[in-house]
């Protein structure tokens, strides 16, 4: 399949292509954020805020009836979170949890004693009719209830945790953030030695990003992180689960392209 020509995804998630998209992409694109060989891993806070405005609009205005953000697909790719089965976590956090969370699915196989949910839009999500934690308790699909001890309405980049977590979950978030190297450092620091990180996202290749940055703009997804950066992050952990899903062809839409599903343990001997 050949690459598409110009594509411009608006704040309303309308996909314009060809000559309709061309003048818009020529005027607005993310080329200025390309770095070294890392794809686009850092943007300004102003660019991030535009993306977050689109994300809020997506869930609150355009998708009020939706009940899931591919959370069951993720569980399927993780073999229903068998790697966490029968474990007990004292202090768990989901980063970029969205309105539905992945912990609602994952909590079916393990026990979580204290749960923190973080998302810059978390207070807006309480207004979504299908938000799974709007009562203050996360309602897992199986009927299991997990009290939410803390809601944090911040980006990970600005989060200063008071304690370490023995379970850190972050699925399908980094395309939406503004500083991935900082986020990877924060995740490492907030994970207790011996604790688990559940991480899923999409791999980009720097060369692909270079080829496409002048032709494709996606308002809600500012970051396109080269796989080397992601691999460098996950390789710091001891592998518990790894699955690479490769799809052929290309589309700008989130969820398509090479994807990594990872569970890792922070070595108990880690000191930094």
**Least distance from C-beta 41 to ligand SAM, angstroms?**
12
Q: Determine if residue 89 is left, alpha or beta; phi over 0 gives left, psi from -120 to 50 gives alpha, anything else beta.
A: beta
Q: Does 95 bind ligand SAM (CB under 6 A)?
A: yes
Using CA atoms in the order 206, 210, 216, 219, what is the torsion angle rounded to 10 degrees? 60
**45 vs 60: CA distance, rounded Å:** 22
How many residues make contact with ligand SAM (CB under 6 A)?
A: 22
Q: Does 223 bind ligand SAM (CB under 6 A)?
A: no
Is the Cβ of residue 6 or residue 59 nearer to ligand SAM in the bound state? 59
Question: Helix axis angle, 227-234 relative to 180-190, nearest 10°?
Answer: 10
**264 vs 272: CA distance, rounded Å:** 17
Is the Cβ of residue 43 or residue 213 nearer to ligand SAM in the bound state? 43
Work out which of 132, 171, 198, 209 binds ligand SAM, going by CB under 6 A.
Answer: 171
Q: Does 96 bind ligand SAM (CB under 6 A)?
A: yes
Q: Does 107 bind ligand SAM (CB under 6 A)?
A: no
**Least distance from C-beta 64 to ligand SAM, angstroms?**
15
**202 vs 182: CA distance, rounded Å:** 18
Interacting residues toward ligand SAM by CB under 6 A: 52, 55, 69, 71, 95-98, 100, 102, 119-121, 155-157, 171-173, 176-178
């Amino acid at each position: 399949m050949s690459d598409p020509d110009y594509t411009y995804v608006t704040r309303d998630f309308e996909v314009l292509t060809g000559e309709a998209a061309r003048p818009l992409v020529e005027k607005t694109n993310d080329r200025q954020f390309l770095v070294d060989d890392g794809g686009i891993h850092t943007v300004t806070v102003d660019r991030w805020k535009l993306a977050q405005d689109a994300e809020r609009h997506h869930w609150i205005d355009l998708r009020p009836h939706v009940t899931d953000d591919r959370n069951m697909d993720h569980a399927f790719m993780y073999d229903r979170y068998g790697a966490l089965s029968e474990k007990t976590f004292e202090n768990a956090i989901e980063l970029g949890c969205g309105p539905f969370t992945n912990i609602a699915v994952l909590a079916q196989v393990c026990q979580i004693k204290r749960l923190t949910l973080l998302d810059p839009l978390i207070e807006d999500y309480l207004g979504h009719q299908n938000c799974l934690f709007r009562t203050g308790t996360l309602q897992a699909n199986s009927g299991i209830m997990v009290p939410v001890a803390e809601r944090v309405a911040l980006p990970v980049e600005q989060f200063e945790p008071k304690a370490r977590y023995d379970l850190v979950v972050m699925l399908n978030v980094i395309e939406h953030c503004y500083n991935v190297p900082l986020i990877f450092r924060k995740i490492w620091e907030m994970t207790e030695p011996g604790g688990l990180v559940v991480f899923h996202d999409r791999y980009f290749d720097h060369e692909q990003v270079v080829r496409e940055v002048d032709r494709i703009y996606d308002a809600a997804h500012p970051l396109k992180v080269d796989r080397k950066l992601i691999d460098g992050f996950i390789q710091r952990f001891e592998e518990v689960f790894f699955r690479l899903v490769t799809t052929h062809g290309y589309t700008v839409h989130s969820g398509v392209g090479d994807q990594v599903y990872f569970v890792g343990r922070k070595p108990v001997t880690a000191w930094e």
